């Protein structure tokens, strides 16, 4: 092999690599498809909360606000735990109206401000309201974690502590 063919081989190898390896955008798209959106990025959180408070009043429940964003892996982990753990899912269904508040890129800042900027704790951040809208608790969800996941026992203990007294 002569030295003049090395640049050509390098160029061929570079082109082949760029074709074979996924581009970062494609990798992000694949990740997003594997993890569907849980937050409505166009929703008005103030309206979501108002609707939830009406429902909570009618059903004698509290409102659980989960502040987060679709890119947040911990938001997805907490949401998945609450949906897939039978005991937690049943408890939430019986005692709470859940509102997923999208705070991606400053969205719904007024709602975040209204409840004392719980997002300063990180995402997801939890806020519990009674049916009249009174803020009962703000929770850094990091304190509910255990290793690479949320502790079902800690999450359930938090939910039980702030559930309405029937």
Mean pLDDT throughout 26-46?
A: 78
What pLDDT band is residue 9 in, cutting at 50, 70 and 90? Answer: low
pLDDT averaged over the chain? 88
Strand, helix or coil for residue 21: coil
**The pLDDT of residue 5:** 57
Rounded distance between C-alpha atoms, residue 138 and residue 107, angstroms: 19
**The pLDDT of residue 35:** 83
Rg (CA), the chain: 22
Please say if the pLDDT value at position 21 is more than 80: no
What pLDDT band is residue 22 in, cutting at 50, 70 and 90? Answer: very low
Superfamily covering domain 45-162 = Glutaredoxin (3.40.30.10)
- The dihedral built from the CA positions of residue 64, 66, 120 and 133, taken in this order, carries a sign that is negative
What are the boundaries of each domain within the chain?
Answer: 5-34, 45-162
What are 47-101's pLDDT values in tens digits? Answer: 999 999 999 999 999 999 999 999 999 999 999 999 999 999 999 999 999 999 9
Chain centroid offset of residue 1 CA: 56
Global pTM reads 0.80
What pLDDT band is residue 166 in, cutting at 50, 70 and 90? Answer: confident
What are 127-155's pLDDT values in tens digits? Answer: 999 999 999 999 999 999 999 999 999 99
Tell me if 66 sits within 8 A of 79, measured CB to CB: yes
**The pLDDT of residue 23:** 47
């Amino acid at each position: 092999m002569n030295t003049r063919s090395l640049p050509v081989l390098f160029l061929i190898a570079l082109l082949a690599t760029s074709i074979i390896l996924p581009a970062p955008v494609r990798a992000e798209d694949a990740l997003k498809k594997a993890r569907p959106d849980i937050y409505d990025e166009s929703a008005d959180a103030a309206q979501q909360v108002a609707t939830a408070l009406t429902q909570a009043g009618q059903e004698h429940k509290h409102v659980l606000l989960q502040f987060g964003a679709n890119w947040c892996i911990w938001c997805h982990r907490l949401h998945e735990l609450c949906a897939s753990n039978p005991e937690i899912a049943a408890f939430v269904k019986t005692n709470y109206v859940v509102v997923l508040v999208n705070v991606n890129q400053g969205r719904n800042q007024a709602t975040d401000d209204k409840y004392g900027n719980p997002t300063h704790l990180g995402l997801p951040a939890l806020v519990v309201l009674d049916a009249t809208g009174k803020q009962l608790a703000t929770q850094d969800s990091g304190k509910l974690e255990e290793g690479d996941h949320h502790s079902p026992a800690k999450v359930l203990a938090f939910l039980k502590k702030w559930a309405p007294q029937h």
